[in-house]
């Protein structure tokens, strides 16, 4: 028994389609297809169908072929530069009477005022040839007419050399048509900013992907390096040049030098040509802060080089791209340090202890004094309480004087601890004999006295032992009477 599907197949009548019938079908389908329209000033793309003596015929996907003058397809030697089957792009000059006329420069014929206005309203890009320079801008031939482009509208950047645009064929948009086409004003800015927006989109994607791009140094300033990215310019701020501290950029970069960089961001502004592109050279390499904790452990000692001094401390380079700070309080055990230059200078090789590492803040705290022995550990043995020693007065405050007992130990002589007969002898820079009154090793403080008379005070303890202390001998009559009263009470 035969399959029903096969039965129906054999029952169908097979007929052979003739070439004439195929042609009719194609014509019917073409007539039913939606009609594509081309506007004056629009860029059209098509395939060369034939080359005549005066015109080249181009298939642009419409019922009628478009034509372009053969002269526009010839080189300087008179040789036609296209062949049948080649694809060309050209501007639509006219669509009147279903005749589509194309032109590579839109200067093949003198355009009508209506066509100029249409092109202006559509902001169509039209090729024009710069033919001369006048006081305010450029003379341009466009669509067979004379036009004018101001200096400020020929390029996004300031034009230093207008002559470089002479004889160039460039795309323009018409911004004003007056006097029936006798006064035509052009601008390239809308086209350039449209392209600029597209380039910004590309650069923003590069920033997202941290893609390394190439550029050429165009200018070096004290605050950064300007980089030409082809048609636009970006800035590498001095802080993004290197992980190390950059000083004189002109020693490292020259105009024309090719570099690699990463886009940090695009700051778009209005007008678009005032936008800013931030770049980084240092981000191309490895970030040393990613591994700083592994290389600089807290409590370890590291050798480095002093790179710069500030009023609050000294910076020391510990690793390539990594600087640490030695705070003023960590410079020396001595209280005499008023400025880092009292201890170190730029270029010195030093050994420091690592106190803290903060990867987020990108900071390393160091100590220079921890490397040396703490002199305060032995100060009680060197300067026993009650002993007398000579020192130098190095400073004065409203409550007393600072006295250096040696290069590292400074004591405080308060005004109340100075005898009347000694007050006139104490001045900054003078040498005085002082007595050690009190030592606070933990807070690194020594209390001093000078020229005071001492009396012994005894107080009975629970077991009858006596405890000794020292006080200033009162100088007033009332004070003497009070002291006598205290003695009688005991």
pLDDT tens for each residue of 182-212: 899 999 999 899 888 999 999 999 999 999 9
Terminal CA-to-CA distance of the chain, rounded, Å? 143
Per DSSP, 200 falls in state: H
Q: How far from the centroid of its chain's Cα atoms is residue 316's Cα?
A: 24
Query: CATH fold of 288-371, please?
Result: OB fold (Dihydrolipoamide Acetyltransferase, E2P) (2.40.50)
Determine the Cα–Cα distance for residues 56 and 185; give it in Å rounded to an integer: 32
Structure tokens at 339: 């400025």
The DSSP string of 4-73 is HHHHHHHHSPP-PPPHHHHHHHHHHHHHHSPPP---TT-EEEEEEEEE-SSEEEEE-SSSSPEEEEGGGG
pLDDT tens for each residue of 379-429: 889 999 999 999 999 888 888 999 999 888 889 999 889 988 887 788 888
Query: CATH fold of 375-452, please?
Result: OB fold (Dihydrolipoamide Acetyltransferase, E2P) (2.40.50)
Band of residue 22 on the pLDDT scale cut at 50, 70, 90: low
- 213-284 against 375-452: fold identical: yes
Residue that the structure tokens 């067979």 belong to = 144
Determine the Cα–Cα distance for residues 130 and 76; give it in Å rounded to an integer: 19
Band of residue 27 on the pLDDT scale cut at 50, 70, 90: low
Q: In the prediction, which pLDDT does 75 show?
A: 76
Nearest CA to 408 among 447, 453, 454, 377? 377
Domain map (residue ranges) of the chain: 43-97, 113-187, 213-284, 288-371, 375-452, 456-489
Helix, strand, coil % in the chain, rounded to nearest 5: 25, 40, 35
**Backbone φ, ψ for residue 69 (5° rounding):** -60, 135
User: What's the pTM value of the predicted model, to 2 decimals?
Assistant: 0.55
Lowest average pLDDT, out of 2-6, 262-266, 291-295, 452-456, goes to: 2-6
Determine the Cα–Cα distance for residues 368 and 363; give it in Å rounded to an integer: 16
Residue that the structure tokens 């807070």 belong to = 443
Query: CATH fold of 213-284, please?
Result: OB fold (Dihydrolipoamide Acetyltransferase, E2P) (2.40.50)
> Can you tell me whether residue 477 is helix, strand or coil?
helix
What is the percent of the chain with per-residue pLDDT over 70, rounded to a whole number?
83
Dihedral of CA 133/136/138/141: which sign?
negative
Instruction: Answer whether 212's CB lies under 8 Å from 260's CB.
Output: yes
Structure tokens at 212: 């390394």
CATH number of 43-97: 2.40.50.140
Q: Which CATH superfamily is domain 113-187 in?
A: Nucleic acid-binding proteins (2.40.50.140)
Determine the Cα–Cα distance for residues 262 and 267; give it in Å rounded to an integer: 15
Structure tokens at 132: 């001369």
**Number of Cβ atoms within 10 Å of the Cβ of 195:** 14
């Amino acid at each position: 028994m035969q399959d029903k599907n096969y039965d129906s197949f054999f029952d169908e009548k097979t007929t052979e389609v003739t070439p004439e019938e195929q042609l009719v079908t194609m014509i019917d389908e073409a007539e039913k297809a939606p009609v594509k329209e081309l506007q004056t000033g629009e860029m059209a793309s098509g395939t060369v169908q034939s080359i005549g003596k005066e015109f080249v015929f181009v298939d642009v996907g419409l019922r009628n072929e478009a034509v372009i003058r053969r002269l526009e397809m010839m080189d300087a030697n008179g040789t036609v530069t296209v062949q049948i089957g080649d694809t060309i792009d050209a501007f639509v000059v006219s669509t009147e009477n279903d005749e589509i006329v194309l032109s590579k420069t839109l200067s093949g014929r003198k355009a009508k005022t209506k066509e100029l206005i249409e092109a202006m309203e559509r902001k169509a890009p039209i090729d024009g040839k710069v033919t001369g320079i006048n006081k305010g801008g450029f003379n341009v031939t466009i669509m067979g007419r004379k036009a004018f482009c101001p200096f400020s509208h020929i390029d996004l950047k300031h034009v230093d050399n207008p002559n470089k645009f002479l004889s160039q064929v460039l795309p323009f948009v018409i911004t004003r048509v007056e006097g029936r086409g006798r006064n035509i004003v052009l601008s390239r800015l809308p086209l350039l900013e449209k392209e600029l927006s597209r380039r910004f989109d590309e650069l923003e994607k590069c920033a997202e992907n941290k893609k390394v791009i190439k550029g050429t140094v165009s200018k070096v300033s004290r605050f950064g390096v300007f980089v030409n990215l082809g048609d636009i310019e970006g800035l590498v701020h001095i802080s993004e040049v290197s992980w190390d501290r950059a000083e004189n950029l002109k020693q490292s970069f020259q105009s024309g030098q090719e570099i690699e960089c990463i886009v940090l961001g695009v700051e778009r502004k209005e007008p678009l040509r005032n936008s800013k592109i931030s770049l980084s050279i240092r981000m191309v390499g490895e970030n040393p802060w990613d591994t700083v904790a592994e290389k600089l452990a807290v409590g370890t000692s590291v050798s480095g080089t002093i790179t710069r001094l500030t009023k609050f401390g000294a910076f020391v380079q510990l690793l390539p791209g990594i600087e640490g700070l030695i705070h003023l309080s960590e410079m020396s055990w001595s209280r005499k340090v008023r400025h880092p230059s009292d201890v170190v200078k730029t270029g010195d090789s030093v050994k420091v202890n690592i106190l803290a590492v903060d990867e987020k803040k990108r900071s390393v705290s160091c100590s220079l004094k921890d490397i040396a022995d703490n002199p305060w550990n032995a100060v009680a043995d060197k300067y026993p309480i009650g002993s007398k020693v000579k020192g130098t007065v190095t400073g004065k405050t409203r409550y007393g004087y600072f006295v250096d007992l040696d290069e590292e130990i400074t004591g405080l002589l308060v005004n109340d601890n100075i005898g009347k007969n000694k007050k006139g002898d104490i001045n900054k820079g003078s040498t005085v004999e002082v007595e050690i009154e009190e030592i606070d090793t933990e807070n690194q403080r020594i209390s001093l006295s000078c020229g005071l008379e001492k009396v012994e005070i005894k107080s009975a303890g629970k077991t009858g032992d006596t405890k000794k202390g020292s006080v200033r001998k009162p100088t007033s009559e009332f004070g003497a009477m009070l002291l006598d009263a205290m003695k009688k009470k005991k």
